[in-house]
């Protein structure tokens, strides 16, 4: 099942916040994304129902294995695409914004080829 772009963004944000602080709540996601708490609560309910997150005591949001897999894949795409764009001369701000959009629509095949090419370029430059 293809997960919606917005849900990938939520999972990626939970992943990043967890790496940063180790404890993620709805309010943290709302603050990070600039969304309302009710919007985040609705999204978290949907993600929980679909098995991507668990909501623990004190409102802590934890990615399930299924959610973590998607979050890590999305974050990897974001990092590699944004760095590639920066390396070819795109401003950091634009590269980060464009990577946010591109990470969701690019095929696995295309991303795998881009990643391989990019990593090879890094090795050759050393």
Q: Concatenate the DSSP letters of all residues of 52-74 into one string.
A: SEEE-GGG-EEE-HHHHHHHHHH
List beta partners, residue 53: 63
Summarize pLDDT for 99-111 with one digit per residue, the tens: 999 999 999 999 9
Give the tens place of pLDDT for each residue, 20-54. 999 999 999 999 999 999 999 999 999 999 999 99
Q: What is the pTM of this model?
A: 0.89
Please give the biggest Cα pair distance in the chain.
49
Q: Quick check: 11 and 47 in contact, CB under 8 A?
A: yes
Q: Is the pLDDT at 1 greater than 70, yes or no? A: no
Query: Can you list the domains of the chain with their CATH numbers?
Result: 5-69 (1.10.10.10), 73-125 (1.10.60.10)
SS3 state at 103: helix
Strands 61-63 and 53-55: antiparallel
Quote the pLDDT of residue 2.
Answer: 59
């Amino acid at each position: 099942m293809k997960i919606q772009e917005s849900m990938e963004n939520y999972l990626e944000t939970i992943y990043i916040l967890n790496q940063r602080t180790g404890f993620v709540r709805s309010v943290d996601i709302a603050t990070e994304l600039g969304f309302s708490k009710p919007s985040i609560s609705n999204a978290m309910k949907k993600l929980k129902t679909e098995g991507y997150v668990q909501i623990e005591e004190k409102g802590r949001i934890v990615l399930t294995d299924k959610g973590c897999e998607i979050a890590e894949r999305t974050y990897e795409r974001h990092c590699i695409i944004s760095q590639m764009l920066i390396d070819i001369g795109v401003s950091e701000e634009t590269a980060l914004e464009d990577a946010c959009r591109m990470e969701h629509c690019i095929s696995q095949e295309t991303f795998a080829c881009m990643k391989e090419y990019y990593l090879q370029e890094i090795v050759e430059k050393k």
